[in-house]
Amino acid sequence: MRKGILFLFFVLASTNIKAQGCADAGFCTAGALKTGNHTGSVKDFGSIGMSGAVGYGEQGTIVFIPQLEIGKNLSANSSVEIKLPYYIATGNLGTASGIGDIIATYTQGIYKQNDIWYIKSTIGGRISPGKSNLKDKNGLPLPMPYQPNLGTTDIIAGLNIRYKKHYVLAVGLQQPIVSYNDNQYYSGAYFSTDTSYQQYFSSRKLIRKGDALLRLEYDKDWKLSGISASTLLIYHLGNDKITTLAGNNIEAVGSGGLTLNLTFNYYRDYKNWRFEAGVGAPVIVRDYRPDGLTRAFVITPRATYFFRKKK
């Protein structure tokens, strides 16, 4: 295990490529699909927390996502969770911000065999409160890395299979069912002397395909702390579509396919509090990424307060 952790840190430290990150309000942090879902977690009837993901995105864009996370246990084996993010991006085109995509999930334990097997399922949705059409101070449309949301309504479903406390397999699907993205950025439209506006992926009226997820994870818990290391595969289910300035709907060739991320997470408990820190980086990328989810690395601190019943 020690060699595995050292290898993971080596890869994260040496990676300088950019790929789809998953530290925004995406489905790889939803319900049973998230990393670091340790057996040592105790939630008697609810929790409230705050995370603050920081990522290095496309063309040097810095992304900061403070997020309120509220959980409620319905029974010993079922819970609901809602994530309310705020998105801030700053880069060579300026700074933009707004309410991010809201995620709500329901998680249900469906099978348990002593300390050998525990299987949970998650179902939920992701709703964008905007149309991804923010503009810069000069009235020019901003590309997707600066947009707070994706401009879609999605469904989310997933399964988490834990074996002997330490080994986890998670599979999931996020599928857009309504698209109202009205982004107007098309790189070929900018011929000004400032070439920075031409360097982003075109995303005009983006229509996204869905994503499938596979996570392989190892967890280790002690009395008051724990670690997890995972390999996270995200497969984008086909090429996205964008609209040209002439009104033609075309495929964004190379936007479908595989992204592979490596993640590491550490937590420490103190009374009713849990403090966490996670880091993730990609090692395999897609060629074309018009959705603005490009990240070279992501760091996510989190603090959670658990409401526990008095004995």
Residues 92-142 have pLDDT tens digits of 999 999 999 999 999 999 999 988 999 999 999 999 999 999 999 889 999
CB 280 within 8 A of CB 231: no
Q: What confidence tier does 208 reach under pLDDT thresholds 50, 70, 90?
A: very high
Average pLDDT value for the chain: 87
pLDDT band per the 50, 70, 90 thresholds, residue 5: very low
Residue range 241-260: average pLDDT? Answer: 94
The Cα–Cα gap between 85 and 52 comes to: 9
* pLDDT tier for residue 188 given thresholds of 50, 70 and 90: confident
Q: Is the pLDDT of residue 306 over 80?
A: yes
Contact of 226 with 214, CB cutoff 8 Å: no
Can you tell me whether residue 303 is helix, strand or coil?
A: strand
265, pLDDT greater than 60: yes
- The pLDDT tens digits for 17-53 are 444 455 344 788 899 998 876 554 555 689 999 999 9
Residue 178, judged by CB atoms within 10 A of its CB (0-12, 13-18, 19+), counts as exposed
Report CA-CA distances (Å) from 207 to 71, 201, 239. Answer: 31, 14, 9
pLDDT at 17: 40
Residues in the chain: 311
Domain extents for the chain?
2-295
Q: Tell me the pairing of strands 249-251 and 241-243.
A: antiparallel
Tell me the CA distances in angstroms from 263 to 39, 140, 147, one per residue in order. 18, 36, 25
**Mean pLDDT value across residues 251-261:** 94
Mean pLDDT over 163-170 rounds to 93
Please state the pTM of the whole predicted model: 0.89
Residue given tokens 């469906």 in the structure block: 110
Average pLDDT over residues 185-205: 82
Please give the helix or strand (H or E) that residue 10 lies within, else none: helix 2-14
Distance CA 194, CA 178 (A): 35
Q: Output the pLDDT for position 285.
A: 87
Residues 21 and 57 sit within 8 Å (Cβ to Cβ): yes
Taking residues 79-84, report their average pLDDT.
95
